[in-house]
Structure 1
């Protein structure tokens, strides 16, 4: 048992794989979905087949992946709380990395795997925690001086969203996997059971409208969602307005503007946990809406996600399930255009089902 983290697993077998922490710099729920499969690959090469996952609380990691067998624990990196919280994160400021490193030290990690393009603060925390193997992108000269020598990558600088691209290149370079992996997450069984019961009365086919948006420039708008809900409901389809507590009033406003004869086909769901939202999105035929976490949840569980993206960089991580609507301005995308894309996706799925 000379390895610093050698761990007996029975029958004289010793697990000498490194005790590993993985840190994600990006702080969105969708960001975590994009990276989860690569974290699983790291876990397969780590002690016990697990990793400790270091993420911002805003990723909602316990709800999204806390039940996964490869997750040993979720550790909050509390640097940038939401503005609405009106507080300073305990890991903010010049001394924040040292405080965080002191919290990590008792866990005696053998290595840290950094999915980050600005790893400076994390490197400081690692040194305070006594972690001497620190793997990272190595995109700059300075990073290569501070990180453990290993295969480096050059960050993606193309037209698409970079997070998934960088995670893929890094994971392949480090030997965690041999090819790109399409993002997938699993559904919590208890949440799935609750959502099956809740959605059972809804009209089929059922579509989820992801009405939330983390930033105002991503918001397609109430009037557009009202028109889309009317269009789908007029076809006899069910419509589920999906969001968090912050979207409860928006959901009520949309429902109130739906044509009276169609309101029975339009329901709101803004009171669920993130795990329940994931489960609900696994039960609908499509998820349509803003570029937000919900559409990434949907694609992550194999549901078609139609994203009203506008002029923003394209998402290229799952061409089979992520369908983009782009235009010079978000306002240029009409409800009629979105409806047409949704119906085309449904037709394509039906054709595939009949002719596998």
Structure 2
């Protein structure tokens, strides 16, 4: 799927636009049930998604049937006091019929109005309400709700059935087959260690992941798959260097998103920092263990077992070192046993 910045080579396509501007991969995954539910009630059974490049939505939805096009927000031109006006000008040529705004900023309400979109649905909290046509926006007291709960309430208010209770992501067959071919000869269980972290206070670190790898291999005889981006290449190498020619470790770093996702999906259990790939692993159906020492779990997913250190966890305060390896090992055991 080739995504372009909104307004680039714009042409009439009509249909339903969904604006979901939260930037992370995890943000898109959390909103999968809402995107699918909105798409299901449209005439085309699909939506156009407007979001930010960091979400990698073009890769996530490359072969989906419910997202037919992805548009990028221009993170300079579409921000600030005039951002909504500029975005509206960019949206007008597409001739969208309906927009769902999964954010409370008035900027996106202004953009939808300026873009000539006839039916405008959104949270309507604060000044955004002035630009909407819906009579079923959220009350002002909903401002403190999580992003997911706001989206849930918006669907309920508009009698749109939520068609899945937890995010579900299908890995395209070509990626799934390639990942399986790469690890099929390796001993099971296959446990993915998701090394990436968007912030340093979400990083469990080389020593902990290395100790976890050693314990899990010693106890299970299985294979550890090290997953990460280019930034995690050195971390993966340092973990491998703790062992002598470890054929039971497979390093999968700096791969395209859906290639990495396919390994997470093939795993029997995935363990990871609070990052997008952890949410992807769970969304593919893999039992997952999430490490939350610098952030709180924002969405409940029965396939993620959240591990927090004892005491209070506050966003931005690094307590990852307080998560014991033994606690994570126990959680992986439970995941492998299906408990």
- When normalised by structure 2's length, the TM-score is 0.87
Provide the rounded CA distance (Å) in 2 between the counterparts of 1:179 and 1:240: 33
Q: Which runs of 5+ in 2 are unaligned?
A: 1-13, 312-318
Structure 1: 5+ residue runs without aligned partners?
A: 1-17, 80-88, 350-356
Give the Cα separation in 2 of the matches to 1:272 and 1:167. Answer: 32
State yes or no: 1:309 paired with 2:295: no
Q: Distance in 1 between matches of 2:247 and 2:163?
A: 46
Alignment correspondent of 2:330: 340
Cα contact 1:168–1:181 (8 A) shared by 2: no
1:231 matched to 2:218? The reply is no
- Confirm or deny: 8 A CA contact 1:168 1:180 kept in the other structure: no
Counterpart among 145, 153, 159 of residue 130 in structure 2: 145
Partner of 1:36: 32
Deviations 1:168-188 (A, max 9, x none): 122222222157721111111
Paired residue for 1:82? none
Is the aligned partner of 1:220 residue 2:204?
yes
CA distance in 1: counterparts of 2:162 and 2:207, whole angstroms: 46
Conserved? CA contact 2:201–2:294, under 8 Å: no
2:227 is the counterpart of 1:242: yes
Matched, 1:318 2:301: yes
1:93: Cα distance to partner? 4.2
> Which residue is 1:122 aligned to?
108
Tell me, yes or no, if the aligned pair for 1:309 and 1:330 is still in contact at 8 Å: yes
SS in 2 for 1:100: helix
Which deviates further from its counterpart, 243-252 or 96-105? 96-105
3-state secondary structure, aligned to 1:47: coil
Match of 2:78 among 64, 67, 91: 91
* Contact 1:210–1:294, Cα closer than 8 Å, also in 2: yes
Q: 1:47 to 1:153 in 2, by over 3 A?
A: same
Aligned-pair CA distance for 1:64:
0.9
State the TM-score, normalizing by the size of structure 1.
0.83
Following the alignment from structure 1 to structure 2, what is the Cα–Cα distance between the partners of residues 178 and 306? 26
Task: State the secondary structure of the residue aligned to 2:277.
Answer: helix
Q: Which segments of structure 1 move beyond 6 Å, counting only runs of 4 or more? A: none
Whether the 8 Å contact between 1:156 and 1:165 is mirrored in structure 2 is no
Q: 2:49 aligns with which of 48, 53, 57?
A: 53
For the aligned residues, what is the CA RMSD?
1.9
DSSP 3-state at the match of 1:264: coil
Matched residues in 2 for 1:39 and 1:173: separation? 16
Following superposition, the deviation at residue 147 of structure 1 comes to 1.8
Structure 1 residues 102 and 311, CA, compared in 2 at 3 Å: closer, same or farther? closer
Instruction: Tell me the SS of whatever aligns to 2:247.
Output: helix
Q: Which is worse superposed, 305-314 or 287-296? A: 305-314
Q: State the SS of the aligned residue for 2:338.
A: helix
Tell me, yes or no, if the aligned pair for 1:38 and 1:181 is still in contact at 8 Å: no
